[in-house]
Structure 1
Amino acid sequence: MKVIKHYLFVLILIISFISCSTDDNDNTSVISLDSSEYYQELNVSYGPDNDQRFDIYLPANRNFDTEVMILVHGGGWSAGDKTDMNGFRDFIRSEFPNMAIVNINYRLANPDNQPYPMQLNDITSVINYLKTNQNYYIIDDDFGFIGASAGAHLSLLWSYAFDTENNIDMVCSIVGPTNFTDPAYLNNTNPELQAMLDLYGIEATTEHLEEVSPYHRVTATAPPTILFYGALDPLVPTTQGTDMRDKLDVLGVTNEFTLYPNGGHGWTGLDLLDTSIKLKAFIETHFD
């Protein structure tokens, strides 16, 4: 009888221990930030490299429907920094105060490290990090992109070719290259431009150039896309925008396209105001 009581006692202890352990684990799994308060964190690490960092800005009173806009800087794939996108960060915070923002850095290319697929892999890592930590941040698991120049190219390419789970609701390209097989690129005489293109291979095959081109990777399932280009851009020919627009039209993908006759690789004044108005309306329609 004493033996039976002893085993019953031990069994009760074991059950109690398992119950307590399970409760502790459950509590740990649901730890999250206070969603009623504004939160920001700079230089969040999403990989071992020093460039694999992002800044995150979370609005107060957010929930699991809080959209997340990802900003991707330019710099010819070999330079630039997330701080270059602070103007877009401030625009989103002003016009969409209930939206979360993630402003990313990614590993920069050099002659020994090509941008593809390295930088696309970094964007994948960011997306996976945000989805894995969705319960911690209390955010939606759908995203939008605003990219500038090389960052616009990366945003388009990831949205068109790497978004296997349809997590991207919209993408904005501001002077983003779209087609590396464009004769305007293949036959260019601009040393600065050619040095950037050579990052994708000095003697790259047509197949490789198509693989890294949003124009050649886009399908009818692509997210709504808004495109802005400057007619006087020395680095991104007008055809990079017009051909992308035409391809989206053929595929039936929702898109908007604006070409500024006096714009270069960027613009100011009334053209910039026009960009802001159109981008805000596009976000409100397709993302907000």
Structure 2
Amino acid sequence: MKYKIYILTFFITLISCSENSSATITEQNQEIPSVKKEETYDVIVTKDIVYAEGLSHTTINGTTTSTKQLKLDAYVPNNSDKNRPAIVLIHGGGFSSGSKEVGSMVYLANYFAARGWVAFSINYRLEADLGTVPDAWVPFAQNNLDPSLVDQFFALYPASRDAKAAIRWLYANASNYNINTDYITVGGGSAGAVTATMLGATNAEDYTEEISLEKDPTLATTNLDQPTKVHTVLDFWGSGITVEILDDLYNRQRFDTTDAPIIIMHGTEDLIVSFSDAEKLKNNYENSGVPFEFYPLEGKGHSVWNATVNGKRLEVLSFDFIVEQQKLKIE
């Protein structure tokens, strides 16, 4: 099975639309936000905001559970702007480690907030949390994965489910931060980029409705009446695996013309997430016709946050990409 080989390769190397929207269009959403080219604003940081809850099991889908609070940190520009874009940042760590306070996410959050975005860095359930997975995932894993990789594979679902919940929380709380929800970016590194790519390509019901409220009552905390639409994706050395899983498990082909534009940045010598994964993701975007930018980082490996392309750091490339795709005003 072709996909079986791909799954095994991914996890071996990784180990280190229709929207159901209840939101209304406001006068704010009819205005294009403006951002600053240079660092301009002081940043107000609020830590450990609970955006939802999720179950943690003692064994995969076991009956003994506890409830885990899912938290994010908010980075808000100290200005009086009533029409702000937003960015949600997702840490890496192979779905087994990492946190919202990892240096790369803190840096990016401050970088964008100082220029006018409201930035959020999120935590999500990791492999050791043993979050609930859909029933269909269990036999798929048993039939296609080495037993040593199963728990890491299962971690993909709750991580994706939690990231969807974070986006819905953003929509539900947008007015508290003066966010214009027509201008939402998601980004992350490695596992976080895998999840960000999923947010840009999947439908609102994906990674949410596969599990019922009866099986996972914490879904009721995730603002299910809100959209999950995002408008640009920053992919730092990730892949499209969580989008492709939906095709194999549910026959849902989600790479299509409704996807969010993406910027793909990936080291050509990456030994953790293969450069071929970036090329495959680029090909999916070429086939759908959705705008993308592709930056092979020649000779670079994994997690190369200080890399440059033609003298531009990756966060500058990302800034330019968001501004171009969202037609933001620059002051």
TM-score exceeds 0.5 = yes
Question: 307, 311, 318: which one pairs with 1:279?
Answer: 318
Q: 1:278 to 1:82 in 2, by over 3 A?
A: same
For residue 84 of structure 2, the aligned residue among 66, 69, 72 is: 66
CA contact (8 A) 1:181 1:210 kept: no
* CA gap 1:70/1:208 in 2 versus in 1, 3 angstroms: same
Aligned AA for 1:229? H
CA distances 1:154-201 after superposition (whole Å, capped 9, x unpaired)? 11112211347572110011000224899xxxxxxxxxxxxxxxxx9x
Of residues 238, 246, 262, the one that matches 1:176 is 238
Q: Which runs of 5+ in 1 are unaligned?
A: 1-36, 183-199
Is 1:51–1:105's contact at 8 Å kept on the other side of the alignment? no
> In structure 1, how many angstroms separate the alpha carbons of the residues matched to 2:241 and 2:307?
29
Higher strand share: 2
Query: Aligned ranges for residues 1-288 of structure 1 at < 5 Å?
Result: 39-48=44-53, 50=68, 52-59=70-77, 60-63=79-82, 65-84=83-102, 85-94=105-114, 97-110=115-128, 112-113=130-131, 114-142=154-182, 143-163=184-204, 165=227, 167-179=229-241, 207-208=248-249, 217-267=254-304, 268-271=306-309, 273-287=312-326, 288=328
What letter matches 2:45 in structure 1?
Q
1:14 corresponding residue in structure 2: none
Q: Which moved more, 1:71-80 or 1:117-126?
A: 117-126
SS at match of 1:283: helix
Name the CA shift for 1:261/1:119 in 2 (closer, same or farther; >3 Å): same
SS in 1 for 2:169: helix
Q: Deviations over 1:74-131 (max 9, x none)?
A: 000111011121121132134xx21110111111123844224212221222122222
CA RMSD after TM alignment: 2.9
When Rg is computed on C-alpha atoms for both structures, the one with the higher figure is: 1
Instruction: Note if contact 1:225-1:255 (Cα within 8 Å) is conserved in structure 2.
Output: yes
**TM-score relative to the length of structure 1:** 0.69
Secondary structure, counterpart of 2:238 in structure 1: coil
Distance 1:148 1:234, change over 3 A: same
Residue identity opposite 1:242 in structure 2: E
**Farther-moved stretch of structure 1 (67-76 vs 121-130):** 121-130
Q: Distance in 2 between matches of 1:274 and 1:41?
A: 27
CA 1:39–1:284 in 2, change beyond 3 Å: closer, same or farther? same
Q: Residue 39 of structure 1: CA displacement?
A: 4.5
Structure 2, gaps ≥5 residues long: 1-41, 54-66, 132-153, 206-226
Choose 134-143 or 119-128, whichever is displaced more.
134-143
Amino acid at match of 1:282: F
Q: 1:163 to 1:126 in 2, by over 3 A?
A: same
- Distance in 1 (alpha carbons) for counterparts of 2:268 and 2:291: 23
Q: How many residues align?
A: 224
1:175–1:266 Cα contact (<8 Å) kept: yes
Amino acid at match of 1:283: I
1:270 and 1:128, CA in 2 relative to 1: closer, same or farther beyond 3 A? closer
- Structure 2 residue identity aligned to 1:88: L
Q: In the alignment, residue 247 of structure 1 is paired with which amino acid?
A: N
Contact 2:198 2:242 survives alignment (8 Å): no
**Larger relative CO (CA 8 A, sep 6+): 1 or 2?**
2
Task: Name the SS for the 1:217 alignment partner.
Answer: coil
